[in-house]
Structure 1
């Protein structure tokens, strides 16, 4: 009897060893209450190998087929593809961490107080800041430079509006740039008395060079904030060569782990260099797009409108460069297979951008050219956008930030076709979503709330602002994951959690599909992984 038992034990052990030997070795098994793979498809577990999703299914199925080196179990939690911010200013955000923060100030006086506090702790030869918005102040008027001149008669001060399309400079900064009462600039305006610069005039004051080590410190700090927020991919919407090189070097060294899709600014030296070099298409660093500014912003009345501003009759906004320039660039880019992205906010600018894209469509039917913001789009232009396959890259939180004053600025007619989202999808267009940070907060959950419910952080207004443009859960999440990947030609490897896709994902303790508009205040990402590596975990 003992011999029979011993023989059976050997047989079972042999079978078990053979079964183990047949298991496919993988790096990681991840288990959660639910893993959102793509619209309509979920799983309980997934295995990861070489930084990519290898298989998905039930925990039992995967444990029987794979041999992981490590196992991570997120009991009762939900996993989603990592958030992809399709339009942001990552390097600008990083540098803003070392400058005076004027976001959410309620008056010009508060701006001055923050500036003084910053200057006392950070004595600099040139004071820089960003974030003020006169639309949030009681007066609603642009400030003037008198107080800045009094406080800092010998130190240049440049404080940019939240969108970067306007700035206030003191006399020392104006002198530094050689700006006086006779200075003019195409595509911009200068109020020399107040020190207010609009659009292209802002660029007349060249900021001092950044210290490389300080840049690196701030970039890595910004990366930390981004992964804590659940961001795994970011499109930086416009940089010059020297700044692109900073990010590329950090990416190649492995210190910058975020996946970056960088657009080249419309700068002659930068374009000459990259046109000669060609696009960069690495897993964590891509550069294939050129970014142009056609108009300004609504907040500073620089967006180019078909009808004049309701609160500033006779002002139609600004076209920042001649139409022929954009047409020539469109023709050149289409032949070189570069992607064109045009910043267009006003309805006139969006119409012109769409017409310009028609040139590219003649040479390259899969150009995937993008309109950044597409904030006010006349109904007559939707069909043309559809025919050309234009990608409207929008930022839902712009709608919920601007809604308090947008109708006063645009008028009752134009507001009815402003801040679109659902109507773009109705045309069959791909709709990537972003934040435009640091113009808005970096938190992508704010984007999700604004896209789904069209409300601000206080769940205002009840029912949502232009609620007919709200997106469904699947539409919003797709816009924050796969659609951004499509817009950067990465939809076959990024944005879903299926076999062969990058293992970029986030962990939440709430089911995003079941959240109501007023349930976002204490919501936070519990873990973020890029390439299967956890960069952040509570």
Structure 2
């Protein structure tokens, strides 16, 4: 009889203990959790309920305090907040997956051969479209011209975009369809000529001459592209991406796909500049859903350094007849920024050259005047004059940079800028010190979308080949903790999403990634090869 009472008492004690535990949907334990919170604390476990973190702590305490429908033992694997890319082209990545891939070509002949292979596989295409060539990677570093495209494609129009998206090369068929002749001129752009005839190269605003005649994908095509891009990004641990410049129709498509639960990755969209978009969104105002943030306009001050469209304060070191150019004149930039200052929208301005950065920082300062909560951003902040760095702090401007640009451009950046001016280029540590933060993105598909490539470039300042020995301008390398925050919590702040996510803390959305190795500890040469094991968004495993 006493034995029965003892068993009953033990059963009731166990039942009481279980019923006193808090309920969760997911309990992750026995992990190395980097929270990326304000103190950069580490933990071993966390609990998730209704898509949000509800507790973070030791494995022992959370296993004692919670019971969950799903319990995951990570056996010591590292966990990080879901990775951000605060400056990318998400739809552009999907579009590029539909085009001839010209990234990594070693010569223009290889470009032509890849185009031929692509055209043979897609015989129904009315245009041959490709992206990713970079003449700086070839023995002949001059811009290519149309003659070899004409020979390979005498009857099909061809348009191939440079890696940075700021120049295209057309064949003669495409030039005729676009109505481009030797007298064609476009403010903020260039139709490149040789012997007073178009070579086929269009730079910056001149690209609009051909884009108006290229067949555009419809909504069904774009849905397919977005879902393909999502698959790539989730496999790389990205949980929040960005679209640096979308029209209203594309923003509404992203909203629709989120509502239909087809698109699950989160998206920070910058509105493409233009009067219809300004009129509509300034009246509507910023808005934010569970998976979409629309509260910024994307402006372009200048072009790219690789195509010499970046606007410099003094001429290019390797071409003294030009200093680049602005894509919008200063009066127009000030008009638009004044409209944004009167609203609650962010201004996110593309600035590559030191002249563009100088102009925009001064315009920001004229309108914002002093430290402020507006979180206006400079996208790229690529070449900054020594006398302009302090303005990031004075006017609370966030530098939104891409570390892999440094390791891609370092082979020829000094040729463009000279040995003195190049010291103010890709100066991530100097920029970070201004406000104690910086945001890291990739600008994909200009660069690869893998965020660990950017992490590696930021901390080691070398490329995939380990070049250069000892690192490139190592005084501007960033420590690993800062690099992680730049692609998680600081990026969330730059997106006005820090109250929602970006760190592993109770109350925030349960976006996290599990990696094969610990990027905070392994040797730098191993960083680019680390594999993503799991990607979770809102407590749902999506990869």
TM-score interval for Structure 1 and Structure 2 normalised by the shorter chain:
over 0.9
CA contact (8 A) 1:391 1:429 kept: no
Where does residue 68 of structure 2 map in the other structure?
A: 68
TM-score (norm 2): 0.96
Where does residue 35 of structure 1 map in the other structure?
A: 33
Cα deviation, 1:9-31, whole Å, max 9, x if unaligned, reads 22222222122111111100012
Where does residue 12 of structure 1 map in the other structure?
A: 10
Where does residue 115 of structure 1 map in the other structure?
A: 115
**1:443 offset after TM fit, Å?**
0.6
**Cα 1:362/1:331, change in 2 over 3 Å:** farther
2:22 to 21, 24, 31: 24
**1:220 offset after TM fit, Å?**
1.0
Distance 2:56 2:524 in 1: 31
Q: Secondary structure of 1:142's partner? A: coil
Distance 1:435 1:295 in 2: 19
CA contact (8 A) 2:370 2:395 kept: no
1:476 to 458, 483, 499: 483
Q: Secondary structure of 2:199's partner? A: coil
Moved over 4 A (4+): none
Verify: 1:231 aligned to 2:229, yes or no: no
Q: Secondary structure of 1:413's partner? A: helix
**1:277 offset after TM fit, Å?**
2.3
**Cα 1:269/1:176, change in 2 over 3 Å:** farther
Verify: 1:325 aligned to 2:332, yes or no: yes
**1:519 offset after TM fit, Å?**
1.2
**1:363 offset after TM fit, Å?**
9.7
Q: Secondary structure of 1:54's partner? A: strand
**1:155 offset after TM fit, Å?**
2.0
CA contact (8 A) 2:310 2:353 kept: yes
Distance 1:343 1:245 in 2: 24
Verify: 1:292 aligned to 2:299, yes or no: yes
**Cα 1:423/1:335, change in 2 over 3 Å:** same
Cα deviation, 1:246-301, whole Å, max 9, x if unaligned, reads 22221221111111000011122222222222222112011110001100100000
State the number of aligned residues: 534
Where does residue 211 of structure 1 map in the other structure?
A: 218
CA contact (8 A) 2:517 2:531 kept: no
**1:90 offset after TM fit, Å?**
0.6
TM-score (norm 1): 0.97
1:314 to 311, 318, 321: 321
Superposed, 1:370-385 pairs within 5 Å as 370-385=377-392
C-alpha root-mean-square deviation of aligned residues, in Å?
1.4
Where does residue 439 of structure 1 map in the other structure?
A: 446
Verify: 1:515 aligned to 2:528, yes or no: no
Verify: 1:104 aligned to 2:109, yes or no: no
Where does residue 126 of structure 2 map in the other structure?
A: 125
Distance 1:170 1:460 in 2: 36
CA contact (8 A) 2:453 2:528 kept: no
Distance 2:183 2:141 in 1: 27
**1:521 offset after TM fit, Å?**
4.7
Distance 1:245 1:152 in 2: 37
CA contact (8 A) 1:226 1:442 kept: yes
Distance 2:448 2:386 in 1: 30
Distance 1:5 1:63 in 2: 30
**1:318 offset after TM fit, Å?**
0.9
